[in-house]
Structure 1
Amino acid sequence: MARYTASHWGIYEISCDSAEGPQIRPLKDDPDPSEIGLHQLDPGLLKSRVRQPSVRKSWLEHGPGAAPHLRGREPFVEVSWDRALDLVAAEMDRVRKTHGNEAIFGGSYGWASAGRFHHAQSQIHRFLNVTGGYVRHTESYSLGAAHVIMPLIAGTMADLMAGHTSWDVMAEHTRLFVTFGGVPRKNSQSSPGLAGKHRVHVGLQEMGRAGTRFVNVGPCRDNLDTGTEVEWMAIPPHTDTALMLGLAWQLHAEGLHDRAFLDRYTVGFDRFAAYLTGETDGVAKTPDWAAAICGIRAERIVALAHEMAGTRTMLNIQWSLQRAHHGEQPFWMMVTLAAMLGQIGLPGGGFGVGYGPANTMGSRHRKLPGPSLDQFHNPVDAYIPCARIADMLLNPGAPFTHSGRHLTYPDIHMIYWAGGNPFHHHQDLNRLIRAWQKPASIVVHEPYWTATARFADVVLPATTAMERNDIGYATQEGYFVAMRKVSEPFEGARNDYTIFSGLAERLSLGERFGEGRDEMEWLRHMWEGCREKWATRDVPLPEFDTFWEEGLVDLEFVARSQTMLSRFREDPEAYPLTTPSGKIEITSDRIESYALPGFSPHPVWREPVEWLGSPRAQRYPLHLLSDQPARKLHSQLDPSVHSVRGKIQGREPVYMNTADAQVRGIVAGDIVEVFNARGRCLAAAVPTDDLLPGVARISTGAWYDGRPEDGLEKHGNPNVLTLDIPASPLSQGCAAQTCLVEISGPVTDLPEVTAFVPPKIVAENAR
């Protein structure tokens, strides 16, 4: 009987014939498998596992709200499952009765599980909805600004990502590929849910062999590998919009823009053109103007505008560009520039948002709904954009705007978190730690002693994907996977469904939550529901028993090539966009109606609060980028041997330009201090010529390891440095890439890295 499992990093074959236990191998048909997922059974991970239900000592002895300043510092007491569930159920009941369900924040943030039943986000939302609702979050750290701006100008991010022109079409038709932020191979190792066959690197190579020319715009040279020559247009962070405006001015000045396309398929170009030419503000956005901001010679900007207008051109933008102050602007301007070229909807032309952040974009597979667990209805209306957690906790009752709505932050007394790691995703972690002291109680489901677990009051040990049965699926990844359990749960760990079932029973809601089904009954129920939905789309699926026996369903038989927005181009009246006007909105009446301070109704260049052109650069002269790591996804599997091998002296690398290192007396391998007014961390210096001078880069994902006495982060987590402000009052998105720092070193008296060492466990009432 074939055995498989699936993860964010791919589909894996399981061999159980080794004396050392189960072994993981990549799917044999995967042309570019990721190594990360091969380490999911790494014995080194076990040292960081949560063994039994654990309760913070003061909270256990003195009750909810006791000594919140000791979160992250205090020992835990291991208790039985019955006692832990009794404590959590009693606290939920107290908070609901005293403060209402609006006082409970249901946190679950991270990429969707490959398994569609044991998906922590689905499980916690279902449970909290059954108990009367909760305060939720919207959007994501990865795409907070884009999720709000793109539906107003071109379509939802979900639809656009599903509709990306497929790699085979680009290999045949795209002759110029201009990408703002590269197409990082490391990012495309994974996808939300499972990743099928890895297609991004292969797709780029096929384009290169077919004669596509590549231009990589941004501060990093090493994030586009095509197997062919790539032109690197090295510009400082946050100057992409200015460069695009310079290109647009040149197209407009020479009449190279496609006026017929703009008239039929867009709205508001003339108002934008008045800004572009300087009619409205007295500043023409010429190539000379753009050159002064982005550092690219005006002659090269002029030439690139000619090249883009003269051949089939695909523009691409990375998600990182909107994770910034004014992060909506580069996405809006990139769509505007593509509209001016008039190639949207043509094979190989138009734009992508973007190729590279995940394996999914460029897939030939249809967007079809997978098996799902009903989460029921949340009767609580209150919500926050996900990147505003600290604001919510620090400012209960304060007003904020989001997507044109005027809202107030709820008053949170309990956080219930299952799935994800806010001490990885969030910015300005020292600020988050202060905010984290506000609730009376924090309950966390976690397999590992991450910082999120250490800063909780009650930690309930959860299983990993290797320790349960599930159905693996992700839209457009091309497979269903029967994820058979590979190993038994570690010590006292339980899956989220079992944990929530126990709580629901204690709250007299067991039948409503579980509907009388065990794990395998749920898998069968969800599969049959999916089969019925797919049958209405003329896509046959086998019965559950056949699927479970065979292990894989290959969906190549429904794959097809596609060109993004081709139907819209063919007939915009019959196939309108989902924007307010049904067209591409270069100027947005909807946004103008919001009357948001400092936000224009069309794309503009605005200086961010921190960048290399700002006065703050006199004190902190390096722009820090915090990108996706190559050896893990976010912070997942950071203790694995594969991740640890990428560290230097146990710390994450900080890449910096060779000249920047030399002027500071720093050489390769030095442990240095990276700092600004928000925090400081230690990292290992890696000088390189692949970064623009004035730019540094630390990948995210190092488990937070702050020293309590002075706040020094010892492990290389850049989010002690990043800025926790909204991208704008429109989206309230994450602005992590807006960050100036200084670097000093070498540091010789090095503290021990303790990120993977569990907290102290003591007996109850121990002194």
Structure 2
Amino acid sequence: MNNSRRDFLKKGALGTTAIALSGGVSGAAANIMESRTTKIPSASHFGAFHAHVRDGKIVDITSQLDSDANPTVLVKSLADRTTNNSRVKYPCVRKSYLEGKGKGELRGKEEFVRVSWDKALDLVANSIKKAQEKGGNKALYNASYGGWSHPGAFKPNTMAGRFFNQIGGAVRTSGEYSNGAAGQVNPTLVGDMEVYSVQTAHEQIIANTKVMILWGCDMYKTQRVGYSVPNHRCYDAYEEYKKAGIKFISIDPIYTVSASEFKADWIKIRPGSDVALMLAMMNYLYKSKKYDKAFIEKYTYGFDKFLPYLLGKEDGIEKTPKWASKITEIPEETIKQLADTMVSNRTFIAGNWSLQRAHHGEQVDWSIITLASMLGQVGLPGGGFGFSMHYEGGGDANSGKATVGGMSQGGGDKVNIAIPASRMSDLILKPGHTVTYKGSKIVYPKVEFMLSAGGSPIGHQPDVNELIEAMRTLDTLVVVEPWWTPSAKMADIVLPATTTLERDDVAGGMSYSNDRIYAMKKIVEPVFESKDDYEIFALLAKRFGKEKKFTRGRTPLEWIERLYKRSYAKKEMGISFEEFWKQGVVKYEIPASARKFVRHEDFRKDPIANPLKTETGKIQIYSDKFAKFNYKDFKGHPTWFEPAEWLGNKKLVAKYPLHLVSPHPTYRIHSQLDNTWVQNVHKVQGREPIRISPNDAKKFGVKDGEIVEVYNDRGSLLAGVVVTDTIRDGVVAIEEGAWYSPEESSKTKSRCNSGQVNVLTSSRPTSQMAQATTANTVLVSIRKAGTIKPNLAYQPPKIIGA
């Protein structure tokens, strides 16, 4: 690894700087080449782009600069998505499954056999019918999660859901990994999930904010990708943030890209102790009488019920700065100074999503909301809190106009069982088990059949080894994917899907600005024998006599036109579908009033006329609804609960002395793009990097650039060492999303040769309330790797007949 790349990683410059690609053709030859090249507009989770196609092959990808203000290198990585070596070329079936032996314990251990589409689809349909005969539709599990594989209307998870609903439904997912804890709690607290809500406009932050708290929030890093199509205009706003003289404070065990860009003061908090810090600040503000008593009385409910806990009258432990200092390892005076700084200035608290992906993660947003209420700035320009400033243009002004929606999953689900996202392994391994969820109970059915489309469970589900154990108990596992992902290699039947570049689709621009519609035109023909998800599930529906109900007799392009006709562009601007499809994009104007938007401003101006959608119409510092659940690990008010794994647990630390966090990836969306060339900038000897402080590197005897083994009781993996002073002592970081690759697939709990961090994370739920993931509550140790083998994560399995 060269020095410049090593410095790039050490400094934490995680991809907002462009990585240039040079060409070698010039002059007359270039003109000839250009005349043979077709330029086709499309869009992706990484930005809008033009594909340059010559002789049926993609020769370059360039950003649509009028739509993408600050393009990132990620869009370039799309160029090899169609011909990547890890493509699933044909329908494939695991050998012993095809032979009718069907031993689940051989999943992930044996070769596949190439079969025809008819044979593969018949096998899938028959396995579904077999499961239905055993346990009805409750025996079917649609594990197709999220919509991150495509930004358009034909998302694989939607197509899968639409199919299952035609045949009576299946067990499905409730909530999500991104915001599984906060998403279940915030609506009761403030009447809205908040994590996906339109944020206070950048213009109001620039004009009014004096202090911005980056509470685990890394805007520069995570804004590079989007659920729809990002425009990256936020980076221009961030430059204005700097010019405005806003004071930034980063509370994080990592000195993030954003902290570096904003030259933020760094509070090196101990992971998992954020709620204790917030409670101590609240205690200090109350006892010093610096909190906004008038705001609390007018706009919140239950402060009087929360106060006994804060003052220690409820449990005998007063939540003072001295108390929190021992937990957080932040000096008592620093805690007081932080509270003073926030209460005496117009302060905006930018929360994030990773903090609630931890044990008792429900408490984090609740505590931030309560702290912001005591500061009394909720609803003021540039003040209050926001939980989505780091996500797909959070802070962008909103057009207020309809773009295009997606395909509907339709009705027909008679199963009506939705399990929390992180309970996948539990569902499969514990039939008949009862789990609590949001005050109610769910009884797991006996699952026989599982299907995953457009996502890799061995990538987002915690405790990979537990998940593999669960997968091997199923009767049938089907994966619909363009690539031989870790989950595809574990399947019985693999159906090859097209990529975004091999199908027509349509997408809206930005979750927040809603100011563009993009034609996502087919760039190249489907490679090998791959088919669109729409066609795959229509063919499956046909085997159940439901094809017409699934397709409604429409082609994909007819669906796209139907969706477009509902948009503002067609209804109000009068732009025909033919004109839109030809030009490739429609742009909306952003009204000046949108740049004045302040979240919760109407509520603040008149809480009677504009109540929140909560129990009382106010901010719920205390919730009677939650208190009635009577959960031991979730109360009626914000509470500090000690995590099961953290640096304060002396017994565990003696064995596993490092706290592992798994931030959002640098050059991927979760596991997407891990099999592309862009990862070469990031990987260390072909493995995922592990960031470690100089003191800890010396303590464990590891050196920059070498491969080490990271391990705990759940598993082990190989990672490449990056020694950096941008991470707190006692903490290491491995970004999530590397493709799992067991060194010896025949062995249980084989070491992962690639660095898939979920080998180490726990499937422990956040609490009885949300049952969400706790991926950031992990202790590990490291040691020399010993003999290592080549990393085969991106190689297809052996295929008979290919």
Give the corresponding residue for 2:20: none
> Within the alignment, does 1:727 sit opposite 2:763 as a pair?
no
The 1:452/1:742 distance shift into structure 2, 3 A limit, reads: same
Give the corresponding residue for 1:383: 418
Give the corresponding residue for 1:515: 552
Is the Cα contact below 8 Å between 1:114 and 1:472 reproduced in 2?
no
- Distance in 1, matches of 2:40 and 2:626, equals 51
> Within the alignment, does 1:435 sit opposite 2:473 as a pair?
no
- Distance in 1, matches of 2:173 and 2:181, equals 14
Aligned with 1:452 (options 487, 492, 504): 487
Is the Cα contact below 8 Å between 1:16 and 1:23 reproduced in 2?
yes
The 1:130/1:369 distance shift into structure 2, 3 A limit, reads: farther
Residues 19-43 of structure 1: CA deviation (Å, up to 9, x unaligned): 9734211121333212112111227
- Distance in 2, matches of 1:203 and 1:85, equals 50
> Within the alignment, does 1:263 sit opposite 2:297 as a pair?
yes
Aligned with 1:246 (options 255, 259, 280): 280
Give the corresponding residue for 1:49: 87
Aligned with 2:63 (options 22, 26, 41): 26
Counterparts of residues 223-238 of structure 1 (less than 5 Å): 223-225=257-259, 227-238=261-272
Counterparts of residues 681-692 of structure 1 (less than 5 Å): 681-692=717-728
Residues 305-341 of structure 1: CA deviation (Å, up to 9, x unaligned): 1111111000121100000000011111000000111
- Distance in 1, matches of 2:228 and 2:262, equals 31
Cα offset for 1:757? 0.7
> Within the alignment, does 1:716 sit opposite 2:752 as a pair?
no
Residues 54-88 of structure 1: CA deviation (Å, up to 9, x unaligned): 0111111116xx11001111111110111111111
Is the Cα contact below 8 Å between 1:113 and 1:193 reproduced in 2?
no
Residues 229-263 of structure 1: CA deviation (Å, up to 9, x unaligned): 31001111011111111111111111111111111
> Within the alignment, does 1:741 sit opposite 2:780 as a pair?
yes
- Distance in 2, matches of 1:225 and 1:201, equals 14
Give the corresponding residue for 1:551: 584
Give the corresponding residue for 2:512: 476
More displaced, 110-119 or 621-630?
A: 110-119
Letter in 2 for 1:145: A
Give the corresponding residue for 1:751: 789
Give the corresponding residue for 1:422: 457
Give the corresponding residue for 1:6: 43
Is the Cα contact below 8 Å between 2:105 and 2:473 reproduced in 1?
no
> Within the alignment, does 1:188 sit opposite 2:223 as a pair?
yes
| Number of aligned residues | 754
- Distance in 2, matches of 1:217 and 1:541, equals 49
Give the corresponding residue for 1:40: 78
Is the Cα contact below 8 Å between 1:275 and 1:281 reproduced in 2?
yes
Cα offset for 1:117? 2.7
> Within the alignment, does 1:695 sit opposite 2:734 as a pair?
no
> Within the alignment, does 1:495 sit opposite 2:532 as a pair?
yes
- Distance in 1, matches of 2:196 and 2:154, equals 25
More displaced, 224-233 or 47-56?
A: 224-233
Letter in 1 for 2:678: H
SS of structure 2 residue aligned to 1:444: strand
Is the Cα contact below 8 Å between 1:204 and 1:226 reproduced in 2?
no
SS of structure 1 residue aligned to 2:58: coil
The 1:676/1:36 distance shift into structure 2, 3 A limit, reads: same
SS of structure 1 residue aligned to 2:799: coil
Q: Share of identical aligned residues, percent? A: 37
Is the Cα contact below 8 Å between 1:370 and 1:475 reproduced in 2?
no
- Distance in 1, matches of 2:297 and 2:133, equals 58
Cα offset for 1:644? 2.9
More displaced, 321-330 or 274-283?
A: 274-283
Residues 592-624 of structure 1: CA deviation (Å, up to 9, x unaligned): 111112321100111100000012111100000
Give the corresponding residue for 2:606: 571
Cα offset for 1:18? 8.8
- Distance in 2, matches of 1:409 and 1:748, equals 42
Structure 2 length-normalised TM: 0.91
- Distance in 2, matches of 1:244 and 1:696, equals 24
Give the corresponding residue for 1:203: 237
Cα offset for 1:465? 0.2
Letter in 1 for 2:585: L
Cα offset for 1:110? 3.5
Letter in 1 for 2:774: A
- Distance in 2, matches of 1:574 and 1:2, equals 53
More displaced, 166-175 or 279-288?
A: 279-288
> Within the alignment, does 1:464 sit opposite 2:503 as a pair?
no
Give the corresponding residue for 1:302: 336
SS of structure 2 residue aligned to 1:460: strand
Task: Extract unaligned runs of 5+ from structure 1.
Answer: none
Aligned with 2:646 (options 599, 611, 627): 611
Give the corresponding residue for 1:139: 175
- Distance in 2, matches of 1:398 and 1:214, equals 47
Give the aligned CA root-mean-square deviation in angstroms. Answer: 1.9
- Distance in 1, matches of 2:461 and 2:609, equals 42
Is the Cα contact below 8 Å between 1:181 and 1:223 reproduced in 2?
no
Letter in 2 for 1:717: Q
- Distance in 2, matches of 1:421 and 1:669, equals 29
SS of structure 2 residue aligned to 1:692: coil
Letter in 1 for 2:544: L
> Within the alignment, does 1:129 sit opposite 2:165 as a pair?
yes
- Distance in 1, matches of 2:203 and 2:527, equals 44
Is the Cα contact below 8 Å between 1:115 and 1:483 reproduced in 2?
no
Cα offset for 1:183? 1.9
Is the Cα contact below 8 Å between 1:623 and 1:695 reproduced in 2?
yes
Give the corresponding residue for 1:170: 205
More displaced, 38-47 or 586-595?
A: 38-47
- Distance in 1, matches of 2:424 and 2:42, equals 34
Is the Cα contact below 8 Å between 1:185 and 1:223 reproduced in 2?
yes
Counterparts of residues 299-448 of structure 1 (less than 5 Å): 299-356=333-390, 358-366=391-399, 368=402, 370-377=404-411, 378-448=413-483
The 1:81/1:448 distance shift into structure 2, 3 A limit, reads: same
- Distance in 1, matches of 2:753 and 2:729, equals 26
Is the Cα contact below 8 Å between 2:149 and 2:455 reproduced in 1?
no
Letter in 2 for 1:468: R
Letter in 1 for 2:587: D
Is the Cα contact below 8 Å between 2:179 and 2:195 reproduced in 1?
no
Give the corresponding residue for 1:120: 156
Cα offset for 1:218? 1.3
The 1:2/1:683 distance shift into structure 2, 3 A limit, reads: closer
Is the Cα contact below 8 Å between 1:113 and 1:194 reproduced in 2?
no
Is the Cα contact below 8 Å between 2:183 and 2:195 reproduced in 1?
no
SS of structure 2 residue aligned to 1:632: coil
Cα offset for 1:643? 1.2
Letter in 1 for 2:448: H
The 1:43/1:580 distance shift into structure 2, 3 A limit, reads: closer
- Distance in 2, matches of 1:98 and 1:237, equals 46
- Distance in 1, matches of 2:613 and 2:795, equals 50
SS of structure 2 residue aligned to 1:40: helix
More displaced, 440-449 or 569-578?
A: 569-578
- Distance in 1, matches of 2:140 and 2:294, equals 53
Task: Extract unaligned runs of 5+ from structure 2.
Answer: 1-37
Letter in 2 for 1:567: D
Give the corresponding residue for 1:598: 633
Cα offset for 1:439? 1.6
Structure 1 length-normalised TM: 0.95
Give the corresponding residue for 1:88: 124
